[in-house]
Amino acid sequence: MIGVLGATGAVGRTAAERLAASGLGGLRLGGRDAARAADVARALPAPAEVMRVDLTDPDELARFCTGCTIVVNCAGPTYRVLDTVARAAFAAGADYVDIGGELAAKDALADAAVPGGRTAVFSAGVMPGLSGLLPRLLAKGRPPRRLDVYVGGAAVFTPLSAVDALLTRGPRFGVPMAAWREGAVTPLAPLHGVRLPGFPVPVHAWPYLTTEAQTLAAECGADEVRCYNVFVSDRIPQALSAAWADVPDVHAVPLETLQPHASEVVNASLLDNADFGAFYVMLFTARPHRGAPAGPARMLLTAADSYALSGVVMALAARAVLAGRVPAGAHLAAEALDPDETVTALRDDPLVTQLTLS
């Protein structure tokens, strides 16, 4: 049995669709609204059972996980869930895949070994996830002089995703306005009104050196890594900056405190969507050292919906775990999944409108 939590959201629906089509086992869909989960189940290409579950209720969570081989968590806010669902899955004898969590969730499991050879994969979404996985193909066999990562576009935030965006603040997530250069964090200025390959309009690229990007630099041997969040206007960056100025320690306050700021982020994204439509782009470029072997220097992925694309990644991660291709223990998706297999699967998925390596 494959359990999918948060099955009524855009990420969860897509993950459930891909997993139902894979034929890897029966599905159990969970959400706070059982009626909405039942609607999702009826639309799947294979039968699925439905169960109401609130992640904050230990009994409901334990009941959902019981009988599952793997639990796929698409619910959130992911940076408050951390290792809560993973521990419930392990207690039920199941493996685990999560769309978020990053180092904060992975480290939360470090105090006690993952039991019974179980496997957990965190950050199995677009960013983090694909943003740290796909650039490895540009560095395979030839450590680059510089790697650039540009991820973003125009996507409407949901209230929950806006809260998650606000929670990506702190040393376990990344450093704003910074790059990685020769083993050290260094300042980096934003880019305004620039034209980038794959982006249909001029954009604003704000540096954010994620912990994922720092790991990427170390593992690929890159001298320099620049990682940007890309927006079509300054509305969302301004909404996020205003929230962080008002609530410097976002992880120390109740979620209710963040709700007004999350609403501002949602409204900013709606205005961007009204002006520019919806699109999502992942652009990776590599600058090789002089005399390096020939190889690809650019990867470009485009999609209309970043949430649904994250659902595809969740399903791919779950399939990798079920197939035994991820070893026991706690991992981040960017470090655990195979980039070549992932690219092959993404090219075959209808949600991906373009994926080129040149």
β-sheet bridge partners, residue 226: 148
Examine the domain organization and report whether 93 and 142 are in the same domain. no
Q: Which of the four pLDDT bands, split at 50, 70 and 90, describes residue 122?
A: very high
Question: 182-196, 250-264, 271-285, 325-339 — which is least confidently predicted?
Answer: 250-264
Domain limit, last residue, from 305, 320, 336: 305
CA atoms of 59 and 55, how far apart (whole Å): 9
Same domain, 293 and 339: no
Residues 205 and 332 in one domain: no
Do residues 43 and 58 share a domain?
yes
Residue 322 domain boundaries: 2-125+307-347
- Is residue 264 included in any domain, yes or no? yes
Better-scored residue on pLDDT, 293 or 322: 322
Residue at a domain's end among 290, 305, 320: 305
Q: Is residue 139, in this structure, part of any structural domain at all? A: yes
Per the domain annotation, does 354 fall within a domain? no
Q: Is 258 found in the same domain as 190?
A: yes
What are the pLDDT digits (tens) for 278-295?
Answer: 999 999 999 998 888 888
Mean pLDDT of 136-163: 92
On whether both 149 and 121 belong to a single domain, the answer is: no
Question: Is the pLDDT confidence value at 111 over 60?
Answer: no
Same domain assignment for residues 88 and 232: no
Per-residue pLDDT tens over the stretch 155-207: 899 888 898 888 888 777 889 999 999 999 999 999 999 999 999 999 999 99
115 burial via Cβ count (<10 Å: 0-12, 13-18, 19+)? exposed
Rounded Cα distance between 227 and 210, Å, is 7
Asked if residue 355 is part of any domain, the answer here is no
Q: Is 100 within 8 Å of 259 (Cβ atoms)?
A: no
Q: Please report, for the domain that includes residue 254, its CATH number.
A: 3.30.360
**pLDDT: is 109 or 165 the higher one?**
165
Cis peptide preceding 202, ω within 30 of 0:
no
- What is the domain count for the chain? 2
Percent of all residues in the chain with a pLDDT value above 70, rounded to a whole number:
99
Say whether 279 sits in a helix, a strand or coil: strand
CATH number, residue 55: 3.40.50.720
- Considering the domain architecture, whether residues 296 and 311 belong to the same structural domain is answered as no
Q: Domain ends where: 305, 322, 337?
A: 305
pLDDT at residue 112 above 70? no
Are residue 136 and residue 184 in the same domain, yes or no?
A: yes
Give bridge partners of residue 153 from the DSSP assignment. Answer: 231, 280
Residues 300 and 312 in one domain: no
Q: What is the rounded distance in angstroms from the CA atom of residue 124 to the CA atom of residue 122?
A: 6
Residues 284 and 175 in one domain: yes
- On whether residue 358 sits in a domain, the answer given is no
Q: Name the region of 283 (left: φ>0; alpha: ψ -120 to 50; beta: rest).
A: beta
Please say whether the beta carbons of 301 and 346 come within 8 A. Answer: yes
In a domain, 229, yes or no: yes
Q: Look up the pTM and report it.
A: 0.94
For residue range 16-26, list pLDDT tens digits in order.
999 999 999 89
Q: Note whether residue 335 is domain-resident.
A: yes
**Region class of 128: left (phi > 0), else alpha (psi between -120 and 50), else beta:** beta
Domain contains 200: yes
Same domain, 24 and 57: yes
> pLDDT band at 123, cuts 50/70/90?
very high
